[in-house]
Amino acid sequence: MTSEVTTKQAGAEPEPPPQQRKQRREFVNALFRFQSLFGLVAVFVVAVVFSPRHNGELLFLNADNLANVVRAMSEIGIMAVGMTFVILVGGIDLSVGAVLGLAAVGSAVLMVNDDFGVVATVVIVLAIGLFFGFLQGMASALFGIQAFIVTLAGMQIARGLARIWSGGQGVAIAYGDGPGEAPVTFSLLGERTFNGIVPIPALIFAVVAVVAIVFLRTSAFARHVYAIGGNEKAARLSGVPVTRVKVIVFCICGFLAALAGIVHAGQLNQGSPNDGFGYELDAIAAVVIGGTSLMGGRGSVVGTVAGALLLGVLNNFLGLHGVDPNVQLLVKGLVIVVAAGLQRLRPTV
Amino acid sequence: MARRRAVAAVLTAATALSLSVSCGTTSENSGQGGGGAQESECGGPDGKYTIGMSQANVAEPYRQRMDDDIKAAAESVPQFSVEFADAQQDNAKQVSDVENFLTKQIDLLIISPNEATPLTAVVAKAYNKGIPVIVLDRKVDGDAYTTWIGADNVEIGRTAGEYVATTLLPNGGKIGEIRGLAGSTPAKERGDGFREGIEGKDIEIVQSVDGDWLREKGQSQADALFKAHPDIQVLYAHNDPMAEGAYLAAKAAGIEKNLKFIGIDGLPIPSGGLKAVEQGRLSATLIYPTGGAEAVDTAKKLLVDCQDVPKEQTLETELITIDNAATVYNEANS
């Protein structure tokens, strides 16, 4: 990646005068801050240059293929945005994959078995996600149990609930007006718009990302989030309502995981209690690649979005080349390690 | 592949379900595909063809063997090259795998779906683009595919039941059953078929337990089963690994000589059921064919020979006992 090269050179050169040093430091800092954007560009360029061709056409750049990339990435992306908030306060949420499964099951069961409409289903499922996040936030913030432990338990609980609710197997969603059929509107989640190119889940991801970016840039709440992640004690002493902010952050994460679960059910026409297995790791990976520090206090949703897209392009590139799936895991692991390693090199301001 | 004999494809149900059925029920075909399925053109023997094989999960030995069978069979067709994808048991990943194959403009898709409903839309998308689709083992919903190849689990269960009724317990007796994953179709069908096979005989299934297809679960469940019912004479497991697990439990209790074990799958691999029968741990197993060789054969008919294929191709099972275990194993790996 580009930023790595730059730092090494910077370290090797003799010390420049203070004025220049400050400028350089700001420049280097910006590189690190948006490492995933540069990484995304780099991976994208590699994917284009080494794209498989068919009759001279670069298959990677095919509009359908690019749409596939964002579609496949949208669920992880939505979860990763929520995860960014949690990690910014120095927490972690391991339950999002299981909450996605629970929400997918909930969507299917409510519409198919209980004949709920789309709006009612979406509202109930999002409320479940929100409430689940609320409970985890309370357990973590109020009772001071580590987020890792709380959400590890939450992961088991959400998975168990999903299995109980679904009767242990996937609930297929058929569309129609009759009993036992889901409203056709819900099938929109599996569709593509704008001439059949842009997948609806990608649009939802985009809206979530934009709202989160604006929110994190402008609100007082966001300043509290960064303050807690930076130094919780100092934040508390300066009057930041730490417990409340932390609980809200977990609520946001649960809410977005449930939203991803609804999208998941709509894309696959099924609510399966085992779905979303391991997705929490992909979401955390997107955040880490995005340059958000796992210690909290530093990071951005822009970085996370780029990190998620980077993973998506990488998956697609490796898939198009038919790279052995086990090797794919190795490559993804290495990318995460490199991204995290780069953050260690980031100068503290 | 010399498994022809074992799995001689019985072309049932050549029901003239015409291949050109539109897929009105699925939601995702707003792309280029649009209307009904297009007749796929046949390139004949002069073409070169790329086949995409989308596997649900190669961590299961049965599915790895399916891939291996396809690879081996395709080597004898010079026009074919096969690319493999592994969805690692994730429906969403398998959808992406198929999408990648479509991007690469493969000439034919073979898919063994992780689950039916989530894969239906993307399979229909491929089919509607005019790409022939061969569905292996598990089905998809609707009929937007070219042909399905698989075995009949009810028939397999029935054969197992008849073997128990006529050979192992001709004078009646007691049976313990270790079932596959609760709620899965094969578990239901293998159980139902077995009951049909022993119907009318003086044979009683004293207890059924869930083994989730897993060897270690089969072992622990059998352990409890043997303690609760020491009078069981035959143990029927819905697959070979669970039967082997049960054998281990019996051996630990020192009662393995008093019992007969039956499994299903009969994979021709060193850790598979054929070897277990040959080495005397299982009394019998029933072959659950992978259909890999038949899939390549069907692909050849569609792309090279320009022939029609039936919509459903049911594979026959074969009863394996000590008499034929070694022969079948060697034939499958020759």
Q: pLDDT digits over A141-177, tens only?
A: 888 899 999 999 999 999 999 999 998 788 999 998 8
pLDDT at B5: 42
* CB-based contact, B130 to chain A, within 8 Å: no
pLDDT band per the 50, 70, 90 thresholds, residue A348: low
pLDDT band per the 50, 70, 90 thresholds, residue A72: very high
**Cβ proximity of A96 and A87 under 8 Å:** no
Range of the domain at A106: 34-345
B107 and B130 assigned to the same domain? yes
pLDDT at A11: 47
CATH of residue B215: 3.40.50.2300
Whether the pLDDT of residue B10 is over 60: the answer is no
In a domain, A199, yes or no: yes
The domain boundary, picked from B91, B120, B145, lies at B145
Q: Does the distance separating the beta carbons of B92 and A264 come in below 8 Å?
A: yes
The tokens describing B6, both together, are 């074992």
Q: How far apart are CA A146 and CA A144, in angstroms?
A: 6
In a domain, A331, yes or no: yes
B33 and B104 assigned to the same domain? yes
In a domain, A12, yes or no: no
B139 and B171 assigned to the same domain? no
For residue B291, count CB atoms less than 10 angstroms from its CB and return exposed for 0-12, middle for 13-18, buried for 19 or more: buried
Chain A, 191-220: which have a CB under 8 Å from a chain B CB? Answer: 191-192, 196
DSSP secondary-structure letter at B107?
A: S
Contacts of A190 in chain B (CB under 8 A): 27-28, 121
pLDDT at A14: 60
Which of A329-343 are b and which e, b meaning 16 or more Cβ less than 10 Å from the residue's Cβ?
eeebeebbeebeebb
In a domain, A8, yes or no: no
pLDDT band per the 50, 70, 90 thresholds, residue A16: low
CATH of residue A62: 1.10.3470
In a domain, A228, yes or no: yes
pLDDT in tens, A218-249: 999 999 999 999 999 999 999 999 999 999 99
pLDDT band per the 50, 70, 90 thresholds, residue A197: confident
B196 and B114 assigned to the same domain? no
B108 and B31 assigned to the same domain? yes
Q: How many domains does chain B have?
A: 2
A261 phi/psi in degrees, rounded to 5: -65, -40
Q: Does the distance separating the beta carbons of A173 and B118 come in below 8 Å?
A: no
pLDDT at B274: 95
The tokens describing A229, both together, are 């992640």
B138 and B53 assigned to the same domain? yes
Under 8 Å CB-to-CB from A250, ≥6 apart: which residues?
A: A86, A91, A93, A133, A134, A136, A137, A140, A141
In a domain, A88, yes or no: yes
**Cβ proximity of A140 and A148 under 8 Å:** no
Range of the domain at B229: 153-287
In a domain, A75, yes or no: yes
In a domain, B311, yes or no: no
In a domain, B257, yes or no: yes
B141 and B29 assigned to the same domain? yes
B163 and B64 assigned to the same domain? no
The tokens describing B250, both together, are 């019996």
Q: How many domains does chain A have?
A: 1
Task: Indicate the residue of A169, A191, A264 with minimum beta-carbon distance to B30.
Answer: A191
* B108-112 and B133-136 beta bridge pairing: parallel
pLDDT band per the 50, 70, 90 thresholds, residue B4: very low
Residue from A32, A53, A183 nearest A107 by CA: A183
B139 and B184 assigned to the same domain? no
B269 and B174 assigned to the same domain? yes
The tokens describing B287, both together, are 């072959």
B80 and B188 assigned to the same domain? no
Q: Does the distance separating the beta carbons of B96 and A72 come in below 8 Å?
A: yes
**Cβ proximity of A99 and A258 under 8 Å:** yes
In a domain, B324, yes or no: no
| Integer CA distances (angstroms), B102 to A60, B132, B267, in order | 12, 12, 32
Find the closest chain A residue to B184 by CA distance: A169
Of the two residues B25 and B146, the one the predictor is more confident about is B146
Q: What is the DSSP track for B65-103?
A: HHHHHHHHHHHT-TTEEEEEEE-TT-HHHHHHHHHHHHH
Chain B, 55-94: which have a CB under 8 Å from a chain A CB? Answer: 58, 83-86, 88-92
Find the closest chain B residue to A268 by CA distance: B118
- The mean pLDDT value of chain B amounts to 86
B54 and B86 assigned to the same domain? yes
In a domain, A15, yes or no: no
In a domain, B292, yes or no: no
DSSP secondary-structure letter at B272?
A: S
User: Whole-model pTM?
Assistant: 0.83
